[in-house]
Amino acid sequence: MQPFLLESEVKKMYKSPIEIFVDDMITEYENGIVKVLQKYKISCNKEELTKALVYDRDQYKKGFEEGKASVQKIGEWIDGVDVPNRNPYLHLANKKYCSKCLNEAYWDSDYGQQLFDFCPNCGADMRGE
């Protein structure tokens, strides 16, 4: 179990490569209009910033790949097989079925069976690896 960390302890672990300092505030009054300008100074450690950005990108890529792998289903359009005494919609040799959910490929009355890149029923990726 991870020990609880105080916010001050977390700040000690990571120092941002970018620091922003509040600087002078300039106030001007002219013709009934008050203009206020707050100045800031920004300090940037380029080497540390580059390291942080590379780390962030790697973390994003790793998380994306892990998430994708956890939900991705690879399937293929398989030929139906005539099986006596079974539901004919699931077992017609002249039609294609999703290998993952076993649903029939989408049927278009004008164009016939449509073998999409993704199964419209379960989302399985049919493009091959």
**What residues contact 16, with CB distance under 8 A and at least 6 apart?**
52
The binding track of 107-126 with respect to Zn ion, each residue x by CB under 5 A or -, is ------------x-xx-x--
Q: 47 vs 129, which CB is nearer to Zn ion?
A: 129
Closest CA to 104 of 90, 116, 118, 117: 90
Window 40-79: residues binding Zn ion (CB under 5 A): none
Closest distance between Zn ion and the C-beta of residue 102, in Å?
7
Task: Out of 101, 106, 114, 127, name the contact with Zn ion by CB under 5 A.
Answer: 101
Closest distance between Zn ion and the C-beta of residue 88, in Å?
19
119: exposed, middle or buried (Cβ count in 10 Å: 0-12, 13-18, 19+): buried
Token digits of residue 76: 């293929």
State the residues that interact with Zn ion by CB under 5 A: 98, 100-101, 119, 121-122, 124
